[in-house]
A = this chain, B = another copy of it.
Amino acid sequence: MFAGVSAFPLTPVRDEELDEDALGLLVARAAEAGVDSVGVLGSTGNAPYLSVDERRRVVERAVLEAGDVPVLAGVGALRSTDVVALALDAADAGAAGMLLAPVSYHPLTEAEVLGLYEDVTSAVPLPLVVYENPRTTGVTFSDELWRDVAALPHVVAVKSPGAPGGVGAARDRVAHLRSLVPTHVGVGASGDAVAVAALAAGADTWWSVLAGVAPGVAVRLARAVRERDDALVTALADALGPALDLVTRRGGVRVAAALAEHRGLVDGPCLPRPLRGLDGAETATADAALAAAERL
By a beta-carbon cutoff of 8 Å, the part of chain A in contact with chain B is 16, 43, 46, 48-49, 78-81, 102-103, 105-109, 111-113, 115-116, 119, 135-136, 138, 251, 253-254, 272-276
CA distance A119 to B112 in the complex (A): 34
Shortest 5 CB-CB contacts between residues of A and residues of B = A80-B273, A116-B274, A112-B274, A48-B105, A49-B79
Which of B113, B138, B274, B276 contacts A138 (CB under 8 A)? B138
Inter-chain contact B274/A119, CB cutoff 8 Å: yes
Given A49-B78, A138-B138, also A275-B106 (CB < 8 A):
yes
Inter-chain contact B105/A251, CB cutoff 8 Å: no
Inter-chain contact A115/B274, CB cutoff 8 Å: yes
Given A106-B253, A107-B251, also A80-B272 (CB < 8 A):
yes
Which of B109, B136, B273 contacts A115 (CB under 8 A)? B273
CA distance A274 to B110 in the complex (A): 10
7 more contacts with CB within 8 A, not counting A46-B105, A112-B276, A115-B276, are A46-B106, A102-B274, A106-B251, A106-B275, A107-B135, A112-B274, A116-B274
CA distance A113 to B274 in the complex (A): 7
Inter-chain contact A43/B253, CB cutoff 8 Å: no
Which of B43, B102, B111, B138 contacts A106 (CB under 8 A)? B43
Residues of B with C-beta under 8 A to A102: 274
Q: Is the contact region of chain A dominated by helix, strand, or loop, or is it mixed? A: loop
Of A81, A107, A111, most buried by chain B (CB within 10 Å of CB) is A81
Residues of B with C-beta under 8 A to A78: 48-49
Shortest CB-to-CB span from A59 to chain B, Å, is 19
Shortest CB-to-CB span from A61 to chain B, Å, is 20
CA distance A272 to B251 in the complex (A): 30
CA distance A212 to B81 in the complex (A): 26
CA distance A103 to B272 in the complex (A): 14
CA distance A105 to B139 in the complex (A): 12
CA distance A185 to B253 in the complex (A): 35
Residues of B with C-beta under 8 A to A49: 78-79, 105
Inter-chain contact B111/A276, CB cutoff 8 Å: yes
Which of B79, B113, B273 contacts A79 (CB under 8 A)? B273
Task: Give me 29 A-to-B residue pairs in the complex whose CB atoms sit less than 8 angstroms apart, sorted by A's number.
Answer: A16-B81, A43-B105, A43-B106, A48-B78, A48-B105, A49-B78, A49-B79, A79-B272, A79-B273, A80-B272, A80-B274, A81-B272, A81-B273, A102-B274, A103-B105, A105-B136, A106-B253, A106-B254, A106-B275, A107-B135, A107-B136, A111-B276, A112-B274, A112-B275, A112-B276, A113-B274, A115-B273, A115-B276, A116-B274
